[in-house]
Amino acid sequence: MNTELLPINAPLAINKLPMREQDHVECQRALFGKRAAFFYAAITVCCVATIAVCMIAKWMGINSLPMRTEAIPLICFLLTSSFYYAFPEYVGKLRYRQCKNANEKPKAIAFYTDHFETLIGDVKAGSYSYETVRRIIKTENLWIIMLPDRMYLPVRIAGIPDKCWETIEQDIAAMVNGCH
């Protein structure tokens, strides 16, 4: 945890950058995660292998295979690809429209030494202790803070200076590891 003396309730940093549509899409892709990429790769390999076996069988003159032997893996591959690539983008754009319609006032996130708060305008909408943070997913432009009950809070990295990010990250790590 940071050992510098700070006034009580003085925020370390306040991020007032609004989330863009591309940030919501990036967040959904990150939440989709490595597990989805593994399943996508496994299904793709199986579909391509099945189609290749069918093509080799036809090349060898075995024409007794039903047409659906080729069609089903092809349809499966197309559905899997569209789900893997299009679904996070669709959900990200949907989340962006929902946030845009729900919050007419700008949303900000204030980081303190032991907790962070979400602010809508100048009103505190929520306060979360660093102890409640389950994990942090880092992407190119975002920090996605995972909270209990499958809640997540995407934060744009560009809104916080690097020095403050390091301090906040150390504070979160200290609280999560039990070194209060």
For β-strands 115-120 and 142-147, DSSP reports them as unpaired
Bridge partners of residue 107, in order along the sequence: 120
Cα separation of 21 and 37, whole Å? 22
Q: What is the pLDDT of residues 53-108, one digit of tens each?
A: 888 888 888 777 676 677 888 888 888 888 888 888 899 999 888 887 776 666 88
The token pair at 16 is 């007032």
d(CA 81, CA 40): 7
- Residues 96-151 have pLDDT tens digits of 888 877 766 668 888 888 888 888 877 888 888 888 888 888 888 998 888 888 88
Neighbours of 16 (CB within 10 A): 12
Residue 7 pLDDT more than 80? no
Start-to-end CA distance of the chain, whole Å, equals: 7
pLDDT of amino acid 4: 54
